[in-house]
Amino acid sequence: MSHWLDVVVAAPAHSAIAGPLTYQSQSPLADGTLVRVPLGRREVLGVVWENREGSGDLLEMQTKSIAGALVGLDPLPATWRKLVGFTAAYYQRSLGEVALAALPPQLRDMTAVQLARRLKRPQTDSSHEQRPSGVELSTQQLEALAGFEADARPALLFGATGSGKTEVYLHAAEKVLAEDPAAQVLVMVPEINLTPQLQARFQERFAHLGKERVVSLHSGLTPAQRLKSWLSAHAGHARLILGTRMAILASMPRLRLIVVDEEHDPSYKQQEGARYSARDLAVYRAKLETEEAGEGEVCKVMLGSATPSLESWQATIAGRYQRLSMSERVGSSTISSEDAGRSAGPPQARPAPSGGRELHAVSKRGGLPLVRGVDMNHQPKHAVIAPPLLDAIAQRVARGEQSLIFLNRRGYAPVLACHDCGWKSECPHCSAYRVFHKIDRTLRCHHCGFTERVPRACPSCGNIDIAPVGRGTERLEEHLAELLAGVKRPDGGAVRIARIDADTTRLKGALESQLASVHSGEVDVLVGTQMIAKGHDFRHITLVAAINPDGALFSSDFRAPERLFSLLMQAAGRAGRDAKHSEASEMWVQTFHPTHPLFAALKAHDYPKFADQQLAERQAAGMSPFGYSALVRAEAKEQSVAQGFLNAAAAAVALEEEHPQVMAYPAVPMMIQRVANIERAQMLVESSSRVALQRFLSAWQPVLFETRRQDGFKSLVRWAVDVDPIAI
């Protein structure tokens, strides 16, 4: 007797395969079973979505048979399928595209025989008795844990940098794993480079479970490692899963706690394929897991950050999330509420080094670093490092302390230019400049990767006097070496300067090696991009300096101030993390706009004040989190074709009559409109109602598909929908 199955297979969102395909099987298969099925001339992996009822004769004539089931592997659970279904619908992608992308790449290519051989490998189990952590928590940490236990709502752990958020995560996980011997915990971090240090800390704390029960899931793993971790999580063998955004779509049958560390970080938003937000899906998945769990069982979610996203902050104001505050650093004797910066009188500011006019900090709360603003309008012309800051760095070196200099631009210089004819190192394939990298004498495009050797003379006029314009981390490292050449360490040695950015960490293991050098005290001054400005626990850094942060103050992207404030607060949090250095720690910010409200809030470490100001502006403008938006992006060989496609698709819908709550703006070029010889345009769609926006996008999908079939756009245009974009 034949059985008919609806099976989802990998397919782009705009292909002819919109949903599950029907196949027949000689035996019944449970929903969620992985199967190999014929698709055209290929055999691909699919997921049984549901068993289908229908007319046997008709279905038997029209359907193909499955090639086989991946026996030995438990079916994917119902909560996983519901999560995938919601993700596909909300982010406007095909069901199969999301479902198959959530599985390990190696699994997608495996046959039933290969998988059976893989599953035969023995799983060791070295679990032991639960043991106490032995870590004494602060009063605020204990209060946060108690509040988390008492409230079923999603929790936002609003904790200052160094306040011990990770210890709260560890204790919450310990409680869940101790109470339920089968429970699983998911801990997410925004970037791969933060995973190894967090994994080491969790493996040390949960050594009693056995090392193999704490696994990682991120794109930096080899295919075999990723498959092993996924299979362990899917089987329930892994008790604690650490991962980046991809981990939110992993199969975990007994998930009871989700932690999202640095929940504000834009890395949680996928930028290709299904452009989902892992942070938002974490909240939704916890709700699904709770609904599917047995009576009395729940899956809780904790979002942690020193600078929460404004969406999460507004959710606490509206009462959808609970807010747990930890405003003081671990080891600090200062007790203050999250709003102390507003109500307290002006504390005393430490005297500044001489040599320039500064805007002194007005607050130092809970052991956090003193923030100094340097008005670059009063510094020597063309100064890269203000004399007072240079003096402060030299003093730190002389005392044997470390400094971190933050510049969010890698390379030697952002552009190479000829001052005679005006030639600049533009990329021939992108509407962007190629960055000058002095270390290997190349001009490299950071968008398409096109690289050439630096020309001996100007390609336009032949002038040999071509020069770098602006500064990146590579040039800053060189400049600091010159400025600090005469400074000596306590042992009489010369200053040791290191640089950590995407260029110095390309080789496997390079980042870990460089971080180890910093932690061991072999570096006096660390120069780097945002990859070192957040998440790292540097115990000997007492001074952090931001060199050129002003660009984000006047960006066309309405989220730019939020990202800048977050980045500067996170960078400041790298200073004074050791209690014995906390009182002497400082954050220096060089700016040409010292009176900007953002810097006033930064000096007071007053995120609530900054958030209130930003939320008021966004509410007046109807922007997130008070309004909802989507970007529809199109790519073509010509800009006119890309824009024409979007405008034609919008014109084909009667917005005012059928979707009165939705506004679609005319198509415009993207900020970087050409990448790798492909022109890019986008159209912004807004609504005051999330439901109305989703209804419109779902109705618009077939219109976009039909518009692309028109003669002027057929095979010339690629398009994608980005719901809740993080950059506009």
Specify the residue for token string 């001489």: 354
Q: Which of 90-94, 339-343, 408-412, 717-721 has the lowest mean pLDDT?
A: 339-343
Secondary structure element (H or E) that encloses residue 479, with its range: helix 473-483
Given a cut of 90, is residue 592 above it in pLDDT? Answer: yes
Spatial contact of 436 and 443, defined as CB atoms under 8 Å apart = yes
Task: Judge if 550 and 486 occupy the same domain.
Answer: yes
Task: Judge if 685 and 596 occupy the same domain.
Answer: no
Is residue 124 in a domain? no
Tell which phi-psi region holds residue 511, choosing left (phi > 0), alpha (psi between -120 and 50) or beta.
Answer: alpha
Bridge-based pairing of strands 68-69 and 34-39 is: antiparallel
Spatial contact of 392 and 377, defined as CB atoms under 8 Å apart = no
Spatial contact of 384 and 476, defined as CB atoms under 8 Å apart = yes
Final residue of a structural domain among 272, 299, 326: 326
Q: Encoding tokens for residue 22?
A: 């029907």
Specify which of 311-320, 374-383, 522-531, 541-550 reaches the highest per-range mean pLDDT.
311-320
Cα-flanking dihedrals φ and ψ of residue 631, to 5°?
-110, 130
Question: Structural domain tally of the chain?
Answer: 5
How far, rounded to the nearest angstrom, does the alpha carbon of residue 264 sit from its chain's CA centroid?
Answer: 8
CA atoms within 13 A on the CB side of 105: 11
Secondary structure element (H or E) that encloses residue 705, with its range: helix 690-708
pLDDT in tens, 33-52: 999 999 888 899 999 999 87
Task: Judge if 402 and 527 occupy the same domain.
Answer: yes
**pLDDT: which is higher, 125 or 233:** 233
Is residue 127 in a domain? no
Q: Report which residue type is found at 440.
A: D
Task: Judge if 366 and 513 occupy the same domain.
Answer: yes
pLDDT in tens, 655-670: 888 899 999 999 999 9
CA 32 – CA 48 distance, rounded (Å) = 5
Burial of 292 per CB tally in 10 Å (0-12, 13-18, 19+): middle
- Residue 421 domain boundaries: 415-469
Is residue 693 in a domain? yes
Reported confidence tier of residue 626, pLDDT bands at 50, 70, 90: very high
Is residue 519 in a domain? yes
Radius of gyration of the chain (CA): 28
Q: Encoding tokens for residue 111?
A: 């046959």
Q: Encoding tokens for residue 274?
A: 């299904």
Residue 697: closest CA among 655, 726, 669: 655
Mean pLDDT rounded to a whole number for the chain: 87
Bridge-based pairing of strands 300-305 and 718-723 is: unpaired
CA 96 – CA 105 distance, rounded (Å) = 14
Ordered DSSP codes for 299-328: -EEEEEESS--HHHHHHHHHTSSEEEEE-S
Helix (H, G, I), strand (E, B) or coil at 120: coil
- Which CATH number covers residue 52? 3.40.1440.60
Task: Judge if 101 and 210 occupy the same domain.
Answer: no
Specify the residue for token string 């709700």: 287
Task: Judge if 584 and 684 occupy the same domain.
Answer: no
Is residue 104 in a domain? yes
Residues in the chain: 728
Neighbours of 617 (CB within 10 A): 12
Spatial contact of 374 and 358, defined as CB atoms under 8 Å apart = yes
Helical spans, DSSP H, in 42-163 = 56-62, 78-90, 95-101, 105-108, 112-119, 139-150
Given a cut of 90, is residue 556 above it in pLDDT? Answer: no
Final residue of a structural domain among 557, 588, 618: 618
pLDDT at 686: 96
Given a cut of 50, is residue 372 above it in pLDDT? Answer: yes
Question: What CA dihedral angle connects 102, 105, 108 and 112, to 10 degrees?
Answer: -120
pLDDT at 554: 82
- Which CATH number covers residue 281? 3.40.50.300
Q: Which of 27-31, 60-64, 141-145, 248-252 has the lowest mean pLDDT?
A: 60-64
Reported confidence tier of residue 210, pLDDT bands at 50, 70, 90: confident
Is residue 500 in a domain? yes
Task: Judge if 427 and 406 occupy the same domain.
Answer: no
Reported confidence tier of residue 57, pLDDT bands at 50, 70, 90: low
Cα-flanking dihedrals φ and ψ of residue 550, to 5°?
-70, -25
Task: Judge if 98 and 17 occupy the same domain.
Answer: yes
Task: Judge if 217 and 98 occupy the same domain.
Answer: no
Q: Which of 275-284, 330-339, 439-448 has the lowest mean pLDDT?
A: 330-339
Is residue 59 in a domain? yes
Reported confidence tier of residue 341, pLDDT bands at 50, 70, 90: very low
- Which CATH number covers residue 701? 3.30.70.600
Spatial contact of 314 and 303, defined as CB atoms under 8 Å apart = no
Buried b (16+ CB within 10 A) or exposed e, 452-474: eebbeebeeeeeeebebebbbbb
Under 8 Å CB-to-CB from 97, ≥6 apart: which residues?
Answer: 10, 11, 12, 13, 88, 273, 274
Q: Report which residue type is found at 666.
A: P
Task: Judge if 428 and 383 occupy the same domain.
Answer: no
Reported confidence tier of residue 108, pLDDT bands at 50, 70, 90: confident
Final residue of a structural domain among 618, 651, 666: 618
| Mean pLDDT, rounded, for 498-506 | 89
CA 564 – CA 597 distance, rounded (Å) = 12
pLDDT at 348: 35
pLDDT at 224: 92
Helix (H, G, I), strand (E, B) or coil at 610: helix
Q: Encoding tokens for residue 196?
A: 């190894």
**pLDDT: which is higher, 170 or 336:** 170
CA 448 – CA 508 distance, rounded (Å) = 22
Given a cut of 70, is residue 402 above it in pLDDT? Answer: yes
Q: Encoding tokens for residue 273?
A: 């394929």
CA 217 – CA 252 distance, rounded (Å) = 12
Task: Judge if 226 and 370 occupy the same domain.
Answer: no
Tell which phi-psi region holds residue 562, choosing left (phi > 0), alpha (psi between -120 and 50) or beta.
Answer: alpha
Q: What percent of the chain has pLDDT over 70?
A: 90
Given a cut of 70, is residue 359 above it in pLDDT? Answer: no
pLDDT at 121: 60
Task: Judge if 103 and 58 occupy the same domain.
Answer: yes
CA 474 – CA 477 distance, rounded (Å) = 5
Is residue 92 in a domain? yes
Spatial contact of 352 and 372, defined as CB atoms under 8 Å apart = yes
Specify the residue for token string 């070029």: 669
CA 313 – CA 426 distance, rounded (Å) = 41
Spatial contact of 347 and 357, defined as CB atoms under 8 Å apart = no
Question: 5 vs 18, 35, 64, 140, 384, CA distance in Å?
Answer: 16, 10, 10, 53, 66
| Mean pLDDT, rounded, for 62-90 | 92
